[in-house]
Amino acid sequence: MSSATTSQTDAYGPVQMLIDGAWTDGTSGRREEIRNPATDTVIGTVPLASAQDLDRALAAADAGFRRWRDTPVDARSRILHQAAARLRERAPGIARNMTREQGKHYKEALGEVTRVADMISWDAEEGRRAYGRVVPMDNDTELTIIRQPVGPVAAFTPWNFPAGSPTRKIAAALAAGCSIVIKASEEVPATACAIAHCFQDAGLPAGVLNLVFGVPAEVSSHLIPSPVVRFVAFTGSIPVGKQLAAMAASHMKPHMMELGGHAPVIVCADADPVQAARACIAGKIVNAGQVCTSPSRFFVHDAIHDRFLAELVKAAGEVVVGDGLDEGTTMGPLISHRRLQAVAQLVDDARAGGATVVCGGERMDRPGHFYPPTILTDLSPQARVLHEEPFGPLLPVLRFSDLDDAIEQANALPYGLAAYAFTKSATNASRLKRRFEAGILSINHTGGSVHQAPSGGWKESGYGREGGPEGLDGYLITKRVLHKIL
């Protein structure tokens, strides 16, 4: 093992890959810069895997699976619980590094680390409950249904939740008895390394968890076709998800795709406009809006539109945008200059179409990738921000007078990941529950996912579920055994 440390310090890195129980810089000699989005300064580098490194990771996962699947479920559960305990102990240091590499403010990062520790504990217990069943048959026949780990997993995760995205896949795979090769994001690698250290220090056998970084297309095209890989798990954009799903399907690999969205919010006439507006701002500024479930299109009933908008502007003005490690910051920067440009272009397009920029709308004049909460009204139906996932702190506000029409507009896009609604009416709530085309629906709040329940998409936002009892389904194969007793 290299000198990579597991202790909690204020130092960033070093960042390495974990292959077959050893931390390594790999064999390619290639490295990529890691930048702090709050300062746009280089804080470290990340190694990029070679084909040889990936082959070693696959061989390790193959051998690791054979060992891990035969490890008693109680022993597997204990290791996961121990990893969760280590994650909780190291949470402050991990959160500081997450803020440095991703930008979200420290309290948000600390909450993410704490939640994923709880997620590991949840999956540790769900692994014990991957029950089969006995089906009554003839006296000389025994029919059983058993669930077994599907095999080594290839997983790919994005940069916006440096702890949440990788851990969802790692914890579910390990709880089910699978090994995993995971390519975490090169933009936020230190958090993934810290999580892998927690599992390693908890006693996870070598080869069961392998962490790599690399050129995304190179890594996916090498891992997915490999006969070692039995399941593919991906979180990311819809275009990339379609490419990976097609690749997996061409090799008959089952796969789980958690893809992008453009979450509508419907604020009914009977809703409290102040409470709804403040909840919408609170939900929008999480991760500076860089969340696939972020509320992104706001349909507000005419009867309360003006009061809602006034409170929305007031709440937006109270957001403190800054370095996530600064005391008092409530929203950090965007991840990169590329993302900053994409958000600015959506605002420019809306302006060109006649939209009113009620607040925000300009890049902040300071180092780093800062963009303030931006509220848009009077939008053209063709405005790009109404059709493209903004992935930033943009709030386009639209009026409606008929709930059925609002639901129809909300469902008009090909996305179906998350949706939100505010109403005091049980009748309205029932209609929204039935009619929204989304895999996740939140009523009277904009809170995030919970490990006790599944999350996942509908339509082009993907398929498969993470979290809850359903979270292990993709990592398990169901086998029918008909035993004739002689």
Two tokens at 178? 């699978």
Contact between 398 and 408 (Cβ < 8 Å): no
Residue 11 confidence (pLDDT):
82
Q: Tens digit of pLDDT for each residue in 89-125? A: 999 999 999 999 999 999 999 999 999 999 999 999 9
Same fold across 17-259+461-483 and 263-450: no
For the cut 70, the answer to whether the pLDDT of residue 1 exceeds it is: no
- Helix (H) / strand (E) element for 122: namely helix 106-126
Rounded to whole angstroms, the Cα distance separating 231 from 255 reads: 6
Distances in whole angstroms, Cα of residue 339 to Cα of each of 318, 368, 467: 23, 12, 28
Residue 13 confidence (pLDDT):
80
By residue count, the chain amounts to 486
Residue 104 confidence (pLDDT):
97
Domain chopping of the chain, boundaries: 17-259+461-483, 263-450
Residue 463: pLDDT band with limits 50, 70, 90:
very high
Question: Under 8 Å CB-to-CB from 467, ≥6 apart: which residues?
Answer: 119, 168, 449, 450, 451, 452, 453, 454, 455
Which is it for the CA torsion 308, 310, 315, 321, positive or negative? positive
Using DSSP's 3-state secondary structure scheme, residue 462 falls into strand
Residue 448: pLDDT band with limits 50, 70, 90:
confident
Question: Under 8 Å CB-to-CB from 482, ≥6 apart: which residues?
Answer: 137, 141, 142, 143
Burial class (CB in 10 A: 0-12, 13-18, 19+), 318: exposed
For the cut 50, the answer to whether the pLDDT of residue 386 exceeds it is: yes
Residue 41 confidence (pLDDT):
96
Which residues are known catalytic residues? 258, 292
Q: Tens digit of pLDDT for each residue in 35-89? A: 999 999 999 999 999 999 999 999 999 999 999 999 999 999 999 999 999 999 9
| CA terminus-to-terminus distance, the chain | 53
Contact between 260 and 292 (Cβ < 8 Å): yes
Class of domain 17-259+461-483: alpha beta
The overall average pLDDT reported for the chain is 96
What one-character DSSP code corresponds to residue 430? H
Residue 14 confidence (pLDDT):
86
For the cut 90, the answer to whether the pLDDT of residue 3 exceeds it is: no
- Helix (H) / strand (E) element for 396: namely strand 394-400
Share of the chain above pLDDT 70, in %: 98
The better pLDDT of the pair 374, 11 is held by 374
Count of other CB atoms within 10 angstroms of residue 30: 16
Q: Tens digit of pLDDT for each residue in 136-189? A: 999 999 999 999 999 999 999 999 999 999 999 999 999 999 999 999 999 999
Q: Tens digit of pLDDT for each residue in 301-350? A: 999 999 999 999 999 999 999 999 999 999 999 999 999 999 999 999 99
Residue 68 confidence (pLDDT):
98
Strands 440-443 and 418-422: parallel
Residue 449: pLDDT band with limits 50, 70, 90:
confident
CA-wise closest residue to 220 among 158, 164, 176, 154: 154
At 454, give phi and psi (nearest 5°). Answer: -75, 150
Two tokens at 301? 């009933």
For residues 434-448, average pLDDT? 96
Cα atoms found within 13 Å of the Cα of residue 94, Cβ hemisphere only: 29
Rounded to whole angstroms, the Cα distance separating 470 from 391 reads: 27
Two tokens at 14? 């070093």
Residue 5 confidence (pLDDT):
35
CATH 3.30.40.230 fits 263-450, yes or no: no
Contact between 57 and 27 (Cβ < 8 Å): no
Residue 10 confidence (pLDDT):
65
Using DSSP's 3-state secondary structure scheme, residue 455 falls into strand
Question: Under 8 Å CB-to-CB from 95, ≥6 apart: which residues?
Answer: 106, 109, 110, 112, 113
Rounded to whole angstroms, the Cα distance separating 120 from 85 reads: 9
For residues 189-198, average pLDDT? 98
Burial class (CB in 10 A: 0-12, 13-18, 19+), 239: exposed
What is the secondary structure of 307-348 as a DSSP string?
Answer: HHHHHHHHHHHT--BS-TTSTT--B---S-HHHHHHHHHHHH
